[in-house]
Amino acid sequence: MARRKRVTCRFPLDSPNWIPIVNAHQSLCGLTGNRQLAAKDLTNALADRDVPSMRRYFSGWRQSPPVGAVLLEPDGELLPAAYWTEHQVQSWSSDATFVARRGAFVPSRGNMFTEITGYAYFVWRPALAKIWPAAFALAAAPAAPRVRRTNDKRQHKGSPTQDAIRQIAAQEWPDGHEGIPIKHIMARVSPKLPTRGIPTVPKRDTWLRALGRRKS
């Protein structure tokens, strides 16, 4: 119990130093120039270089905590480094970065992987900054941009559908949804859209634009 209190105080669940693993991977892509190399380097750092990581449960079947994990109430688990010897970061496209469990080796096909769903994964920025300062060191906050006042309604970006998606997603994930796969957001938000006057499920591209994962 004493160890759990020390760990919880050192790595509080609500600390801004926790960043979504998707964001950490994206930062490493800029250094490696390759999504799969970035995923490999990040996995190795989590397993071998004392980089704290945690995951938060948000939907579906909740697994038993991994051996050696420390619970971060109410829904977090601080993961041991050994977790990343059996799991790894996978990334095949800008919208497909996830954590998967390593499976058996199959001749002609290589290692098989099973995606872990229902959890959002996070890594500790200060530890990453020690390894890759160019990618993770905190920069000075930029000056706030000047806003040009106008009554032209064309200045307001986003359709009513996109506005509804953003509003419902913000209600479902008050702490942010950056690390949550788009398919999970669609599954959670879609049933609530009819109450906003949107009878049909929007196209995937609309979701990506609404959540800032694709530029307009």
Please state the domain extents for the chain: 2-136, 155-210
Model pTM?
0.59
Host H or E run for residue 197:
none
Look at residue 156 in the predicted model and tell me its pLDDT.
Answer: 41
138-174: b or e for each residue (b if 16 or more CB lie within 10 Å)?
Answer: eeeeeeeeeeeeeeeeeeeeeeebbebbbebbeeebe
Tens-digit pLDDT string for the chain (216 aa): 445 555 556 888 889 999 999 999 999 998 898 999 999 999 999 999 889 999 999 988 888 999 999 988 888 999 999 999 999 999 877 666 889 987 665 565 555 678 899 999 999 999 999 999 988 986 544 555 554 544 444 434 568 898 899 999 888 888 788 878 888 899 888 888 888 888 888 988 898 888 888 754
Which of 53, 40, 110, 122 lies closest to 81 in space, CA to CA? 53
How does DSSP classify residue 97?
A: E
Q: Peptide bond preceding 142: is omega within 30 degrees of 0, i.e. cis?
A: no
